[in-house]
Structures are given as C-alpha cells and as structure tokens.
Structure 1
Amino acid sequence: MPRDMVLLNMRRGDGYALGVKTKDGVLDVEAAGRALGMPVPADMDDLLQNGRGPALRALIDAVEAAPDGRFVLAEADVAYAPVVTRPEKIIMMGFNYRHHAEETGTPIPKDPPLFNKYNNALNHHGGTIALPTQAAREFDYETELVMVFGRECRNVSEADALDYLAGYCTGNDFSARDLQTLTSQFMIARPRTGSRRSAPTW
C-alpha cells in the first residue's frame, strides 16, 4: 500500500471512485488514470482486495511530476461513500479503554469482548443514521479508531502487525444501550447502527 496519503471513497453514479487528498483538493484517481492512459484502482475495495497499490503509486508520481487541475475536485463538492463497501469482516472491540469501562461500572476486562457489525452499518462522512425508535429509546455513540486491514493475516507477531494494516480512520460506533442490556451479547444492540468516516490515512 502507498503510505503517507489520505484516501477517500467517493460516490460516482451507481458506483464508487477513489480519491486522494492533496494540498489543492481531491485528486480524482479514475479521471486522472483515464486521461493519462494508466490503469488505476476503481475504488477503495479494488485497491485493497486486488493489490492495486503499485498502480496508485505510479499515478500519484505521474500527477506530481506534471500537475493538472482538471483532475482535482474541491473537497466541498465530493459526495462521500463509506470508506470501504465490501469488507469481509467488521470486528469491534468493547471496553477497549479504561475510562469507558469505569464510566459504565464495568470491571476492566482481562480480554476485551469482541462483537460484529454488518455491511449495512457502513455509513459515510456527513451521513445520517435512522434511529430504530420502534425497538429502542436509549441511544449512545462513541468516536472510535477504525483500523482497515490490507491483507489476510493469522498468528502475526506484535512487531509485524502494522505490516498488515492498510490504514486507519475515525468512526462513529452507534449503539442502542437498552437493547444491549437485554442479553449478555452485544449483537442485538450494535450491528446495524454504525457509521464510518471516509478519509483514512495510509
């Protein structure tokens, strides 16, 4: 994966497109690739799942060598999409910082609980959440660090862990607390009510 850049997923008609934040605005990767005759990743999922990092790096180098304002969008004009749209897994970690456990009166766990979300929990920067008021009344949210893995891994050492991380961004973990306390599992309260910002740093 190319490093030291901020990427974002944009809505484009019925699909998505990849953008790169620059000092002048957002580079439209698809438009630049088409104009320069260079193969580029179609969107964030194409970049991550198909190993298209070298193609993106080549495009960035070409654009930096010969800047062209035709490929740059004003950030205010960007229609954001979820940072990823086809993740294989969305795994969340509960009580992952001491203050949260203390404020909820929860003993600090030796092993933080894990729970899942589903693809329909993905939202975009500036997006809204439809509250399931027919089923719940007590809603809460937390700003979270979202880590996006770039490749499959297993039994990875702590020293090598960041080699598998494609990037990170902030996320809004939205919960229905009254549903959460109905059972010992978090799933009923949290899998359908989240959002993700769309400008990860890589």
Structure 2
Amino acid sequence: MRLVTYDAGNGPRAGVLIDGDIVDAEGAGAPDSSVRGILAALDADGLKQLGTAATGGADRTPRADVRLLAPVPDPQKIICLGLNYRDHAAEANKEIPENPMWFAKFANSLIGDGEEIVLPAVHGEHVDYEAELAVVIGREAHRVEASEALDYVAGAMPFNDVSARTLQLENQLWTSGKALDTFAPCGPALVTLDEAGDLQSLGLRTYLDGDVVQEGNTSDMIFTVAETVAWLSRTMTLLPGDIIATGTPAGVGGVQGIFLRAGSTVQVEVDGLGTVTSPIREAS
C-alpha cells in the first residue's frame, strides 16, 4: 500500500494512492484521518486490510486535483544518518564510522512531492542535494535487536536531505545547514514494507533538470536499516511516524561543484518507491 497525506482544500488527510488516484483512508475504514495515527493504531496485517479495502471500490479523487504533502507531515522525530555509504565516506575522505552518526531535522523542513525547495536568503549559494532512502517507524521501539528491527518499520520512501553546505561547514554542526524550511522533500508516498522490496538492494539516484547527477545502491550502506533502527532504539524510544533517513551515496553536489539554483528542478528516485520532485525558488 502507498500511504499519502493530501489536501483537497479541507486540510491534511491520510489517503491511499492507487493507480494515480487518491482514496481517503478514513473513508476506506482507517481508524484515524492522519498517517501517523493510522500507523499507531494498525499493525502490518491491519495495514494490508486497509489497502485491500481502499482498492475495493471506494471513491477516488485524481491525484492532480489534490496537493500532496509529506507522507508523515507531523513526526515526533526526523533522524538522519551521515556517512552511511562507503563510497560517500571515501569521496569525503572520511574514515568509516564505528557507529551510526546521526543528526536531526524538524517538521518545518518537510515538503511533499511537487512542493518547492526555497533557497535561503542568507547562505543560499551552496545548497546541495542528497538522495536517501527513508524509513518510517510503525511500532514503538525501545532496545530492539537488529534481527527483529524491521518488524518495527512500517514502510519506506524517497527522501532528499537538502543541505546548505556553507552553514553546515561554518560551525561543524550538521543540523544547522540541514534543518532549514523546505529542506526535507519526501514521498510521494510511504510504501508499506510488504511492497517496498529488499531495503538493502534498492537503487537510488538524483536528477537535476533531468540529468542524473548522483546514483548508488542501498547495498553499499555501512549500517543496514535494521542495524540503524536497533542502534537508535538503544538510547531513544522510536515512535510510530518517526522518520529515519539512512544516508546518501557518493555523488553529492559539494564534491562535484553542482548546487541547486532557482528555476531548476531536483528529483530523488528510489527503485520501486517512486520519485519526489522539487522545483527550486529563491526566498521572497
């Protein structure tokens, strides 16, 4: 199932994306009108049942008639990994980390498919893209083992860890260059784990104005999704709706001298999960 958050003019609501149309999740029997609420209430079997119900004749609205938001627009936590691909660590001339290195983004950064990245008025000259696989927690997780960690994951989605490199490097605090408004495009949908494929064998890439500027595969991760979830859960309780972005492969713009410019369009694609498209504009 592909869960979305959409706005048809009456505020955000959870929906199911089916063949280019949106089915309202609550109308299909979901226990809540938000994706985070649905994840908190339903286990994997419940999500499958919701997907079946949504497919079976519920009213549909064309995707073009609604605005897609981030699939989970109101997470308690957005946790992002740095240096989690071997080739990216190599291009950055960094040692392979012994444990996952993480930083935070916040809900102000989240935007959905088709929404604009806004370049900041200050330090907007070196804004970079980072193609990532993000996973979303479906069950409360605390001190779980890697062998069972995926049981706590609801699904996965494309994620662009947009980064203002000048701010990031100015004070060596990654969050300062990454938690800006609109700097976390994701979606278009949260694909439930039963349909997402092998999370450690997914190709991902970035397109800038239609040209491939970054390409990798999740098989190159230093810490797998399961290892990351388990490690994070040792020191914090992960809750339904929490987003974990799992790092980016080699090919970031800062290494190539390619940065995001107003008037361009950047896309992050993950095999089987879709593409999040973001037009770029300057701050007004």
**TM norm structure 2:** 0.60
Shift of 1:14: 4.7
Shift of 1:107: 2.3
Cα distance change, pair 79–40 in 1 and its aligned pair in 2 (3 A): same
Q: Is the 8 A contact 2:8 2:66 kept in 1?
A: no
Aligned to 1:130: 118
In 1, the alpha carbon distance for the partners of 2:82 and 2:62 equals 37
Matched, 1:176 2:167: no
Shift of 1:56: 5.9
- What stretches of structure 1 of length at least 5 have no aligned partner? none
**More off after superposition, 188-197 vs 21-30:** 21-30
Per-residue CA deviations over 1:117-154 (Å, capped at 9, x if unaligned) read 01101111111111113234211111111110012211
- What stretches of structure 2 of length at least 5 have no aligned partner? 193-284
In 2, the alpha carbon distance for the partners of 1:169 and 1:161 equals 17
Residue 25 of structure 1, aligned match among 11, 17, 21: 21
Structure 2 matches for 1:142-153, cutoff 5 A?
A: 142-153=130-141
Residue 200 of structure 1, aligned match among 170, 174, 190: 190
Cα distance change, pair 165–137 in 1 and its aligned pair in 2 (3 A): same
Per-residue CA deviations over 1:147-189 (Å, capped at 9, x if unaligned) read 1001221111111101100111001110011111122321211
AA aligned to 1:8 is V
Matched, 1:46 2:42: no
Residue 9 of structure 2, aligned match among 13, 37, 49: 13
In 1, the alpha carbon distance for the partners of 2:6 and 2:51 equals 18
Cα distance change, pair 140–39 in 1 and its aligned pair in 2 (3 A): closer
Structure 2 matches for 1:37-186, cutoff 5 A?
A: 38=29, 40-49=31-40, 51-52=41-42, 58=49, 60-62=51-53, 64=55, 67-68=57-58, 71-186=59-174
Cα distance change, pair 60–108 in 1 and its aligned pair in 2 (3 A): closer
Shift of 1:61: 4.1
Q: Match of 1:182, SS? A: helix
Q: Is the 8 A contact 1:40 1:55 kept in 2?
A: no
**More off after superposition, 144-153 vs 175-184:** 175-184
**Percent of matched pairs sharing the same residue:** 33
Q: Is the 8 A contact 1:94 1:114 kept in 2?
A: yes
Shift of 1:39: 5.8
**More off after superposition, 139-148 vs 40-49:** 40-49
Q: Match of 2:156, SS? A: strand
Aligned residues: 189
**TM norm structure 1:** 0.82
Shift of 1:115: 0.3
- Of Structure 1 and Structure 2, which has the larger fraction of its residues in strand? 2
Q: CA RMSD in A?
A: 2.3
